[in-house]
Structures are given as C-alpha cells and as structure tokens.
Chain A
Amino acid sequence: MENNERNNIYAVAFVGGILCIFSFFDFDILSFFNFNLILGLILLLFILPHIICGIIMIYSAIRIKLGQKTWNEQKVKLLISSWLAIGVSLGASIFMLIFVGYFMLFNRFGLIGGFLTLLGYYYHKHLTKSEKLSDPPLTPEKGNSDSIPL
C-alpha cells in the first residue's frame, strides 16, 4: 500500500531529462563542422538549452525522489524547461528550413523529452483532479428513499 501512496511521477521528469541530454549525441558534430563552421557553431548553440533543460529535469527528479522537494514545488520549473526544449527544437527546425532547404527535424530527442514530460504532467494532473472529485462521499437524497414504506 505504501508504494501505491507514494508519488512516483518523478520518473517522468527523469526520463525526459535523460532524453534531453541524449540530444547532444544525436547528430555527428564533426560532419556539420566540416560542412560549414558557422552552421556547426549555430547548431551547437541550439543544443545547449536542451542540455541545460535536461540537467534541470534530472536534478529536480532526484530532489523529489530524495524527499527534499515535492512535485508541486518543482512543477513550474519542469513545465518551463519542457516547453523550452520543444520550442527550441521546433525553432531550430524552422531555421534549417530557411538555411538548409527542407524541414529537417532537428534534435528529435529534445523534442521527445519535452513532449513526454508535458504528457506525464498533464495526465497526472487529470488523474489527480478526477480522484479529488470522487473523494467526498455522495450524500443520499432526502425524501424519496426514506419515505417508501417496506
């Protein structure tokens, strides 16, 4: 029962952080630098926010796991970092559309990490809301049920 009562939603942020940090290894940097030095530097600049977001997510997940912070205290930080990861990856892909020529889905893992954390956050919010609605017991209606004679 204790396992069910403990909030294990921190695992979503942990997974999102791992996927965001993995975006550094997703593309071959040397090939981009060989193709164009300035383009490679710009792409490296696009990846830095993902790594920062991933570190924030993992750090907050570990703090929730250790019991130093709660999910509600860390949720704003997680939301900002995940939206930032999605926004930066989509912005970089638009940049590639303009400068390279086609819509290249740049930095998939940052996009996926942000998407999964957001999905987990909103689904967990939906679940807890529905539980709170069903928490108070239903009061029986007065009149009809008592007035019926057996």
Chain B
Amino acid sequence: MTLTFYWEPSLYSFFFTALIIFKNIALILYARSRKKTEDRLKYTNLLLVLGIIRLIYTVISFFLPGIRLSYFSPLSEYFMFYFIVILYNLPLILEVFFGVVLLLHFSNYQRDKKALVGPILFIDAIMNILIFNISSNYIYVFERFLYNETYGLYLMVHLIFRSILVVGLLFIFLYSIKLNKDFLIMFCGIFLGVELAYFFNVLNAVIIEFTIFW
C-alpha cells in the first residue's frame, strides 16, 4: 500500500478541475440570479448552499489522500481503503440531495410533468452508482485475487448506471433550454460534458478489456 495525493498536478488535471470549478460557480451564480426574481426562496437558497459545499469539496479534494493497493496486500490495510472509499462517495451522497432539491425547484414554478423525468433519473442513477460502488469495493476485498476476472463485468455495470445518469442530465439540459435560463444551461452543459467524457472513457476501457480477454 502506498499513500499519495489523489490530485496529481498535470496539465490535464489542472484544466479538468478548472472545468469542475466553473460548473460549481455556474450553479452558485444561477441560484444568486434566481434570488432576485423568485418569490419562494427556500429551494434556491438550498441550491446556493449545495453549490458552495460542492465548490469547497473540490478545493479540499486537492489535499485528499490517494491509495494504491497490490493484490497481495494484507487485509489490515483495507480499513484505510474503506475510509477513503467512503470519503470519495461523499459527493455522490451530496448529489442525491442536489437531485431532490432540483426536483422540488422545478416542480415549484412550472407545472410541467416532463421536467421531473430528468431529476428522477438523476437521483436513480446516483443511488445505483453509490450502492454499486460500495458493494463492489467489498467484493474486491473478498475476491481480490479474481480482480482481473471481475473487472470487465464491473466496468459494464458501471457503464449502464452512468448511461442512466447521462440520460437524466440530458433531460435537465433540454428543460433548461426550454426555461431559457443561461446559467442553468451552462451548469447542465458542463455537467453533461464531464459525465459524457467519463462515459466515453469507461466505454473505451470496456472495448479494450473485451478485445484483450475475449
């Protein structure tokens, strides 16, 4: 087991974090712009708070520890691994609340049932990813000698859950165009872009995995 920083300074990681920070700032600016016009401030205030928490988490994530395990590392070292896994599942838990707030926010001032499809799919996918991540990490511990065997299956299931998330974000993006809100379009567009990039990355890994082993 070797402990390092999760965030490694490189050209790619620097600009990718800049993109994520831009995403969170767009959410904060959207909530601030809505505060001027909207009457019901409960959910816009919640969106503002969630955006600030997300921004703080991205700044903190520079200093979080990263972990590299070998196949033959003893079981006692996995307690640290569990702790770090829970730490990295925190933004997913936060995004469940974000999805619920977005659902209530959309249901408040627009009586359009189609608008609720996006946030519902978003919450569903985030919950699935959360449960799957936690369960799969436990499976890796007990079958860590079979890691190479189960890795392709893991990637495929991960791809399916991520595709649900992408579809939900696509619905939110289209609804933000219908609402004609510029900050919301920017936030959802960048969010969707980052998620699609991750989706393509996993897809590429699946293709490589199955071309090598099958």
Report which A residues bind B (CB closer than 8 A): 3-4, 6-12, 14-16, 18-19, 22, 25-28, 102-105, 108-109, 111-113, 115-116, 119-120, 123-124, 127
Contacts and interface: CB of A to CB of B under 8 A. Distances in A.
B103 to A, nearest CB: 21
A105 B189 contact: no
B185 A8 contact: yes
B180 A12 contact: no
A27 B181 CA distance: 32
Contact of A4 (B180, B186, B193, B207): B180
Contacts of B14: 25
B204 A104 contact: yes
B197 A108 contact: yes
Contacts of A103: 207
Given A11-B182, A105-B203, A123-B174, A18 B190 contact: yes
Nearest to B183: A11
A120 B183 CA distance: 14
Contact of B189 (A116, A123, A127): A116
A15 B190 contact: yes
Given A103-B207, A105-B203, A14 B186 contact: yes
A10 B186 contact: no
Contacts of B186: 11, 14-15
Contacts of B156: none
A8 B177 CA distance: 8
Contacts of B10: 28
Given A18-B190, A123-B174, A127-B177, A11 B185 contact: yes
B181 A108 contact: no
14 contacts: A8-B182, A11-B183, A12-B185, A14-B186, A15-B185, A18-B19, A19-B193, A28-B10, A28-B11, A102-B211, A105-B200, A113-B193, A116-B189, A123-B177
A71 B11 CA distance: 34
B37 interface: yes
A119 B11 CA distance: 29
Interface in B171-205: 173-174, 177-178, 180-183, 185-186, 189-190, 192-193, 196-197, 200-201, 203-204
Contacts of A120: 173, 177, 185, 189
Contacts of B11: 25, 28
A3 B179 CA distance: 10
B214 interface: no
B12 interface: yes
A12 B177 contact: yes
B58 to A, nearest CB: 17
Contact of B204 (A105, A123, A124): A105
Interface in B125-175: 170, 173-174
B208 interface: yes
Given A11-B182, A105-B204, A25 B197 contact: no
B72 interface: no
Contacts of B182: 8, 10-11
